[in-house]
Amino acid sequence: MPLLFFSQNNKRVPNSPIAFEALAGNKGIATQMTINKGFQDIRGLGFFSAANISSKWNEEHSNDAMIQANLTFEVIKNIRVLGGMHYTPTTGLRPTAGILYSLSTPEFLLIVNPRFIGFSEKSIAEGMMLLEYKPSINENWKGYSRIQALYSETIKDGAHARSYLMLRLGVSYKPLTFGLGANWDRYGPFNESKQNFGVFAAIRLFH
């Protein structure tokens, strides 16, 4: 369920919790943290951040990370423009701008986020989509399924830069979600790939 805060005009505004997830699989561990918050006293202004970090079991330091932090502003219902910074070990810290569409109900969540990373000859066009279905089982338990996908390419030549597909299937008990998960990742113009299959657990923080 979304959290709520009061704005200056005393109207309740949806405000999602911070979500943290870890997948332990046959190849390694993958984590994801998402923050999607609205500012209490500035109507329409918010903050959106997503951090994905994964490493193989035999790695001491992970070289696979994508971290973004953005300010958002709602222009019409469910649609926000965003701007901020995007980081990977390969590209470093780069500016980013895009659009964030979100539709949320107690059982359903859809997020679509097309964006541009960098504003030079090495600029990247990227699109992310997340779809969750959370049907109620009883007062405390829900089913849980998620499809999350990303695809990015360099604007100059249309070469593949990065893509992934994440699948999750499990159940939720209050703020805790757990079950089976699978990640497929591809990197660079030669589509170097890796897969990770295992179990996941996620928790919604700061209710």
Structure tokens at 185: 């990742």
**Which CATH number do you get for residue 166?**
2.40.160
pLDDT beyond 60 at 33: yes
Give the global pTM.
0.87
* 78-137 pLDDT per residue, tens: 999 999 999 998 888 999 999 999 998 989 999 999 999 998 878 999 999 999 999 999
Q: Which amino acid is at 101?
A: Y
75-87 pLDDT per residue, tens:
999 999 999 999 9
> So what's the pLDDT on residue 15?
61
Tokens standing for residue 146: 């998620």
**Cα 165 vs. chain centroid, distance in angstroms?**
12
- Give the number of domains in the chain: 1
Expressed as residue numbers, the domain containing 33 is 3-205
Unique residue bearing structure tokens 């332990």: 24
Q: Tens of pLDDT along 131-165? A: 999 999 999 999 999 999 999 999 999 999 999 99
16 or 65, higher pLDDT: 65
Please tell me the predicted confidence (pLDDT) of residue 207: 55
Q: How confident is the model at residue 6 (pLDDT cuts 50, 70, 90)?
A: very low
Instruction: Kindly give, in sequence order, each residue whose CB lies less than 8 Å from that of residue 186, ignoring residues fewer than 6 positions away.
Output: 160, 162, 163, 164, 192, 193
Closest CA to 52 of 68, 65, 63, 70: 65
**Long-range contact list for 64-68, CB < 8 A, 24+ apart?**
64/89, 64/185, 65/89, 66/162, 68/96
pLDDT of residue 41: 81
- Partners of residue 177 on adjacent β-strands: 172, 202
CA 131 to chain centre: 11
10 pLDDT higher than 90: no
What's the chain's average pLDDT?
89
- Cα separation, 98 vs 114, in Å, equals 6
